[in-house]
Amino acid sequence: MSLFWRIFGLNALVLGTATGLLLWAPVTVSVPVLLTEAFILVGGLGVMLVANGALLRWGLAPLDRLTRLMGTVDLLRPGQRLPVPGGAGRRGGGGGRGGGGEVSELIRTFNAMLDRLEHERATSSARALLAQEAERRRIAQELHDEVGQGMTAILLVLKRAADDAPEPLRGELHQVQEITRASLDEVRRLVRRLRPGVLEDLGLVSALTSLTQDFATHTGLRVVRRFDAELPALEPETELVLYRVAQESLTNTARHADATRVEVALRRAGEAVVLEITDDGRGIEAPCEGAGIRGMRERALLAGAALDISSTPATGTRIRLTTPVPALRKPS
């Protein structure tokens, strides 16, 4: 039954019931209307309105559920769908209009729109992230070639000048050397963050080891590593997603968690590889997810992975990224 005929039928049922009660009820209306008769008429009208409202609420309940889903849907959390009345499929196959009318058709259309939007969001996010990685490589290369080499040349000039300078000036030149050397180390650290060359050369485990060591050195936090000895081979894009999620998680821990200990685990769980970062900080609120966490969710979509963030105040935060292992190709 279509939505129009459903509402028409509900109203006809209420009006027909009221008409039947008026026909067979031993109630007369005087002119002018008596007070008792007015009470009966007003009470009957109230009963009609309540009955009509209850039946309409029941008839329009699927639209209410659809409205609530529209208000809460998040493309970074894929899979949110509304069940179609009448047992029809998610994409509208098999049920047709006869099973659920316009409401079912609207729900099927909305679910299909979510499918399309999630696909388009994943595609656009992939392009944006790939462009971002290309820009990071370019900036890292320029920092290494231009800034790094220029600061190295400055260090050499300062050394020659300090060797030939008198004693009062020599101490100041040595101080400038130390400042320049510290700046050069910072530039090299930025280059490693922008372009993890160890990830391309030595693999994910070595890259995460270097990342956590560098993080512990600069933050003073205790970092515990738990990496499985044998991990399956992953696509380069998937390894980069795991590395960037770990990097962003550690950065958020240093900035916001107020933690003293961080544990980074990488293990195989069935047909998936799980990256887990746990801290003992103050936790986060789910509604307070910022750009960093949403960026991690976008990266998870890029690798077809599932990102789960669990946290309660004063108990720390656990970030778990579960990425599927690619199936081995059979020889042709």
pLDDT along the chain (332 residues), means of 10: 68 76 66 71 75 74 74 69 60 40 76 81 73 77 80 86 83 87 84 76 87 88 89 85 89 86 91 91 69 80 83 82 72 42
Residue 275 belongs to a domain: yes
The pair of three-digit structure tokens given for residue 43, joined into one six-digit string: 């009470």
- Name the residue among 254, 151, 264, 247 with its Cα closest to residue 195: 247
Domain stop point among 194, 214, 234? 194
Bond into 32 cis (ω within 30): yes
24 and 85, same domain (yes or no): yes
77 and 57, same domain (yes or no): yes
Concatenate the DSSP letters of all residues of 265-309 into one string. EEEEETTEEEEEEEE-S----GGG--HHHHHHHHHHHHTT-EEEE
40 and 151, same domain (yes or no): no
Domain stop point among 117, 152, 186? 117
Residue 136 belongs to a domain: yes
Count of domains for the chain = 3
HSE (side-chain half, CA atoms, 13 Å) at 204: 27
User: For residue 258, what are the CA distances in angstroms to 261, 266, 280, 288?
Assistant: 10, 23, 8, 16
Domain stop point among 117, 141, 161? 117
pLDDT of residue 273: 92
pLDDT of residue 30: 65
Residue 66 belongs to a domain: yes
177 and 234, same domain (yes or no): no
Round to the nearest angstrom and report the end-to-end CA distance of the chain.
Answer: 53
**Count, residues in the chain:** 332
pLDDT of residue 329: 41
Residue 212 belongs to a domain: yes
204 and 97, same domain (yes or no): no
- Domain with 295, as residue range(s), is 197-324
Residue 188 belongs to a domain: yes
Phi-psi category of residue 225: left, alpha or beta, with phi > 0 → left and psi -120 to 50 → alpha: beta
Residue 30 belongs to a domain: yes
Residue 329 belongs to a domain: no
Residue 332 belongs to a domain: no
pLDDT of residue 275: 93
164 and 202, same domain (yes or no): no
167 and 262, same domain (yes or no): no
